Chain A
Amino acid sequence: MSPAHRPVRFGVVVFPGSNCDTDAHHAIGTFPGAGAQFLWHKDTDLAGVDAVILPGGFSYGDYLRCGAIARFSPIMQAVRDFAADGGLVIGICNGFQTLVESGLLPGGLLRNMGLKFVCRYVNLRVENADTPFTSTCDEGDLLRIIVKHNEGNYAVDAETLARMNANGQIVLRYADASGALTDEANPNGAVENIAGICNDTFNVFGMMPHPENSVEAAMAGGADGRRIFQSMIDTVLQRAEVAS
């Protein structure tokens, strides 16, 4: 088998309280060219996976700030090392919160403006299609994916925000059906309708909506989330090809 056609292996980290871990595992299983395995939070290595998913849920019950305890799990040192080497890491919802708490992504996630948990379809406008997580999209595409969180209100200082904007690190924003960035389309009050961001090396990505619940057209969540994972798979395969 040529390197370009070997299955791409995703590692899904399981923290106590993770509850979208099996959904992420299932989602990856719907891609013919990929496979997933669980990584236990007490482990200290990533078992050689090609990409890491920090799944949604309530790690450690979110009894402290969301993700604030998960960042201290033994596995997170391995994730930091992997990211420093350029490995692809996606944090979804609680995973996004954990990446922010770990310092792998800038900013913070505050309680929703409405002070309630919100589970709702949102439209995500692709702001930067030139990332390993959105390469199968075009700029301006709308992805319809469900958000479900209590603390998804992205906040960051003005200076960092300006830099992120300039770098193209703002990858996804909440938009209405026509693509306009309105307050009504913003489910949590996030600054500038931000739904997903990358680090400045574009290998670590966090998003509040749940692409893993949007990989099958027959299901209520639709299939738009496929494009996020397909982008990651394509990126891993391209890198493998270049390396070979």
Chain B
Amino acid sequence: MSPQYVNRRADVDAAVKLGLTAEEYAHICEIQGGEPTYVELAIYSLMWSEHCSYKHSRPILGRFPTSGPRVLQGPGENAGVIDIGDGWAIAMKVESHNHPSAVEPFQGAATGVGGIVRDIFTMGARPIVSCDSLRFGELDEPRQRYLLDGVVGGIAHYGNCLGIPTVCGEIYFEPSYEGNCLVNAMAAGILRTDQIVRAKAAGVGNHVVLIGNKTGRDGIGGASVLASQEFDETLEEKRPSVQVGDPFTEKKLIEACLVLLHDHLVVSMQDLGAAGLTSSSSEMASKGMVGLDIHADRVPLREADMEPWEIMISESQERMLSIVEPGKLDAVREVCDRWDLDCTVIGEVTDSKMLRVWWHGEMVGDIPARRLADEAPVVRTPSVKPAYIADDPVAVGDADYPAAKDLGAALLELLAAPNIADKRWAWEQYDYIVQANTMQIPGGDAAVLRVKGTTRGIAFANDCNGRHCYLDPYRGAKAAVAEAARNLSCAGALPVAVTDCLNFGNPEKGEIYWQFEQAIEGIAEACEALDTPVVSGNVSFYNESFGNAIYPTPMVGMLGLYDDVSVHIDHGFKDEGDLVLLLGPDGAWLDGSEFQKARYGKVEGRVPDVDLEAERRLQAALRAAVGRRLLKSAHDCAEGGLAVALAECAIGSGVNGGARYADPEARAQGGAGRWRGTDVELPEALLAAPGQPLGAAGRPDLALFGEAPTRVVATCAPGDFEALEALLGDIPHRRVGVVTGETLRCTMKGNELISVTVRALRDAYESLPGRLA
């Protein structure tokens, strides 16, 4: 049977069906000098899709700071690379797999992990870290529980099999994600600074070699069908567009490809992600300023009757494209044989500068590679500030926001709120210890890992409060960067670089485009102030279902460094008698807080603006204190405010693994370590902070549960307090209490506001599994 579409010309109707506009089709005809073939049109439609071309985001992303003394590779490659010293570097990148996961959560999430890990080892780095930021609708909906279960299971299935520790992540639940969950997979790898490989074809006459899995019809149109459109009632029909993951083959690919790269057996390498062979070959050709001939009929197939255009756009997983000098082909085959991987010469590098597709000797596609890449359309939607955006914080009147009377009960309610509750149910499904580098396991502010053979360490955190970004995308995005950095600084790590995953609705709408522009500006300003360039990232648009957009969710993943990782600390209270300190300015906001949502069912007002200079100084002082071992614990004061932060420190005293478990004395006191509570006297100043609307209200519930940036709860030994104060200088700080027995007590002027045992706090905090049944 001869394929139907070989060399047939495609008209404008065919182009529109593939998601191109009439103007784009005319442009294609101009480049091609006439009507394109179906193969050519399929290639253009994918490469010019939102997912591959960043057509709506490219003009704005240039705002990001992307360089710095540590940056060895910024955006534009498979991953960014940061110099961490001693000749070592870290490659890092995050990518969304939202749409596949909404259609088929298990495979969608699994292949998200597979894809991001390929981006890392393609750079020549051994993957050492996996993290995931997830967003779902509210858990009362059975479908949301199904999605959560499937996504977490898929991440576990793939990441665990690869032997890459999943050490950090975050999960939030908001109604806006109901029809469009978010699955942002981040990975990082380690390499020597002289081992960086870039995806650039070179050397006329070299072989184009496909390594790994056979090609099937799975994932055809994944990028164009799924990632570049909104969802509607045809969701179920899109299931065949989701790829199926094979982590075993990927594990073998990692091992084989790292040998090929480190032994210089290949000229370059590129993974086959969105748009499969099409994007990998055209990117390699255009970056290398050469041509590539691809013989589609030589690609090993799972299904015999595939058409050349299907072969070119299939998104079958676990495949790598590499450029190999003829003299090294045998050595490449030998490595692949050792790992039982297919290794097939499917084409060659030419001096034509054309991407040519052949089918049994007949040329069925002939596209100028550079123009395909460079002349992708750029679209800038006129932005419109949405009507819902408020200019001022809410007025906290008793009519709308009656004061909580039982503050202990309110605290337990917040701890049990799905957005705050312990995500242990999820992360215990992930192997977080493999590779023997993990120093802090999930559940704290940051994941901390050592770099073997050195005194150095790295830390990761990812953050984004979607509610805050919804209420003010500029302030919310800025706060996401500040919070990620604060999480790293709490653990004592120096924040050095960002990878971001920008999840937004339909960019053709002015309001969405406004959110996007605002968020980019917020990230850019914060990254400049905190000296954390953006080295890689991903944009995911069209996160809408039935016309409803998600909260703008610019997820920030951040890398931190230690020269001496042994100084790292976690958030758990340590010893009775330690002093409890609140670092940072007074004042807290109800706007966009978890308290506002959980207790009053509202998301409104205006979130505070992070003072980046205050943030930078606080974090520098924090790191200096950790470096001098003056602090015993530190915890970012985020969702749920001061009270939840204190509760998490108390719960963390006994729950988490790590150093405390290894300490025989702690174990002798009761195996899992003994709970540490705290006695805290709420400073009146927190109720009457100048210029803050909450303070004016004079309500202890708002002082305890209101939220503010740039705040940290820390503890120190009493003997270190003086040195710590000297170090902090004029950075705002208050001594609010002491670490005590097994109860969290909070008083104000002799009145008891809260008194709850740590065990009861823990039970509320670990109540998530009960909601999933």
B300 within 8 A of A: no
Task: Tell me if A19 and B566 are in contact (CB < 8 A).
Answer: no
- Picked from B248, B441, B672, the residue with its CB within 8 Å of the CB of A220 is B441
A144→B671 CA distance, assembly (Å): 9
B30 within 8 A of A: no
A22→B126 CA distance, assembly (Å): 13
- Picked from B251, B427, B434, B658, the residue with its CB within 8 Å of the CB of A17 is B251
A104→B437 CA distance, assembly (Å): 32
Distance (whole angstroms) from the CB of A203 to the closest CB of chain B = 26
User: Which A residues between 17 and 46 are near B, CB-CB below 8 angstroms?
Assistant: 17, 19-20, 22-23, 26-27
Task: Tell me if B429 and A221 are in contact (CB < 8 A).
Answer: no
A244 within 8 A of B: no
B432 within 8 A of A: yes
Q: List A contacts of B339 (CB < 8 A).
A: 16
- Picked from A27, A150, A220, the residue with its CB within 8 Å of the CB of B439 is A220
Task: Tell me if B435 and A23 are in contact (CB < 8 A).
Answer: yes
User: Which B residues between 152 and 209 are near A, CB-CB below 8 angstroms?
Assistant: 153, 156-157, 160-163
Interface size class of A (residues with CB under 8 A): 35 or more
Task: Tell me if B436 and A117 are in contact (CB < 8 A).
Answer: no
User: Which B residues between 360 and 403 are near A, CB-CB below 8 angstroms?
Assistant: none
Number of B interface residues in the complex (CB < 8 A): 42
Q: Which residue from chain A places its CB closest to the CB of B432 in the assembled complex? A: A119
Contact digits for A101-140, partner B, Cβ 8 Å, 1 yes 0 no: 0000000000000001111110100000000000000000
B456 within 8 A of A: no
A134→B657 CA distance, assembly (Å): 24
Task: Tell me if A20 and B434 are in contact (CB < 8 A).
Answer: yes
User: Which B residues between 409 and 449 are near A, CB-CB below 8 angstroms?
Assistant: 427-441
B287 within 8 A of A: no
- Picked from A16, A146, A148, A218, the residue with its CB within 8 Å of the CB of B340 is A16
Task: Tell me if A16 and B671 are in contact (CB < 8 A).
Answer: no
Q: Which residue from chain A places its CB closest to the CB of B566 in the assembled complex? A: A218
Q: List B contacts of A23 (CB < 8 A).
A: 434-436
Task: Tell me if B161 and A177 are in contact (CB < 8 A).
Answer: no
Distance (whole angstroms) from the CB of A14 to the closest CB of chain B = 9
Task: Tell me if B156 and A117 are in contact (CB < 8 A).
Answer: yes
A37→B162 CA distance, assembly (Å): 21
A87 within 8 A of B: no
Q: With A17-B251, A117-B429, A121-B661 in contact, do A219 and B436 touch (Cβ < 8 Å)?
A: yes
Q: List B contacts of A216 (CB < 8 A).
A: 436
A142 within 8 A of B: yes
B450 within 8 A of A: yes
A212→B659 CA distance, assembly (Å): 17
Task: Tell me if A58 and B439 are in contact (CB < 8 A).
Answer: no
Contact digits for A41-62, partner B, Cβ 8 Å, 1 yes 0 no: 0000000000000000110111
Task: Tell me if A123 and B428 are in contact (CB < 8 A).
Answer: no
Task: Tell me if A144 and B247 are in contact (CB < 8 A).
Answer: no
Task: Tell me if A26 and B436 are in contact (CB < 8 A).
Answer: yes
Q: Which residue from chain A places its CB closest to the CB of B769 in the assembled complex? A: A114
- Picked from B247, B428, B439, B452, the residue with its CB within 8 Å of the CB of A218 is B439
With most chain A CB atoms within 10 A of its CB, the pick from B248, B432, B670 is B248
Task: Tell me if A27 and B436 are in contact (CB < 8 A).
Answer: yes
Task: Tell me if B161 and A118 are in contact (CB < 8 A).
Answer: no
Distance (whole angstroms) from the CB of A92 to the closest CB of chain B = 12
A118→B426 CA distance, assembly (Å): 10
Q: With A19-B251, A58-B160, A148-B160 in contact, do A218 and B671 touch (Cβ < 8 Å)?
A: no
A16→B156 CA distance, assembly (Å): 19
Task: Tell me if A221 and B160 are in contact (CB < 8 A).
Answer: no
Distance (whole angstroms) from the CB of A142 to the closest CB of chain B = 7
A192 within 8 A of B: no
Q: With A16-B252, A19-B163, A144-B661 in contact, do A61 and B433 touch (Cβ < 8 Å)?
A: no
Task: Tell me if A61 and B671 are in contact (CB < 8 A).
Answer: no
Task: Tell me if B440 and A220 are in contact (CB < 8 A).
Answer: yes
Q: List A contacts of B661 (CB < 8 A).
A: 121, 144, 222
Distance (whole angstroms) from the CB of A239 to the closest CB of chain B = 28
Task: Tell me if A148 and B431 are in contact (CB < 8 A).
Answer: yes
A155 within 8 A of B: no
A222→B656 CA distance, assembly (Å): 12
A142→B670 CA distance, assembly (Å): 12
B138 within 8 A of A: no
Task: Tell me if B430 and A63 are in contact (CB < 8 A).
Answer: no
- Picked from B163, B246, B452, the residue with its CB within 8 Å of the CB of A61 is B246
A142→B156 CA distance, assembly (Å): 29
Task: Tell me if B248 and A146 are in contact (CB < 8 A).
Answer: no
B773 within 8 A of A: no
B617 within 8 A of A: no
User: Which B residues between 294 and 313 are near A, CB-CB below 8 angstroms?
Assistant: none
Q: List A contacts of B433 (CB < 8 A).
A: 119, 146, 148, 210, 213, 220-221
Q: List B contacts of A63 (CB < 8 A).
A: 248
Q: List A contacts of B439 (CB < 8 A).
A: 218-220
Task: Tell me if A117 and B160 are in contact (CB < 8 A).
Answer: yes
A166 within 8 A of B: no
B662 within 8 A of A: yes
Q: With A26-B452, A177-B672, A223-B662 in contact, do A144 and B161 touch (Cβ < 8 Å)?
A: no
Q: Which residue from chain A places its CB closest to the CB of B452 in the assembled complex? A: A26
Task: Tell me if B248 and A58 are in contact (CB < 8 A).
Answer: yes
Q: List A contacts of B249 (CB < 8 A).
A: 61
Q: Which residue from chain A places its CB closest to the CB of B164 in the assembled complex? A: A19
Q: List B contacts of A142 (CB < 8 A).
A: 671
21 contacts between A and B (CB under 8 A): A16-B340, A19-B161, A19-B251, A22-B436, A58-B160, A58-B161, A61-B161, A118-B428, A119-B428, A120-B428, A123-B671, A144-B671, A148-B434, A177-B667, A213-B436, A217-B662, A218-B450, A218-B662, A221-B433, A221-B438, A222-B662
Given contacts A117-B157, A144-B661, 4 further A-B pairs with CB under 8 A are A16-B251, A17-B161, A61-B249, A119-B431
B interface residues (Cβ-Cβ under 8 A, vs A): 153, 156-157, 160-163, 246-249, 251-252, 339-340, 427-441, 450, 452, 566, 657-659, 661-662, 667, 670-672
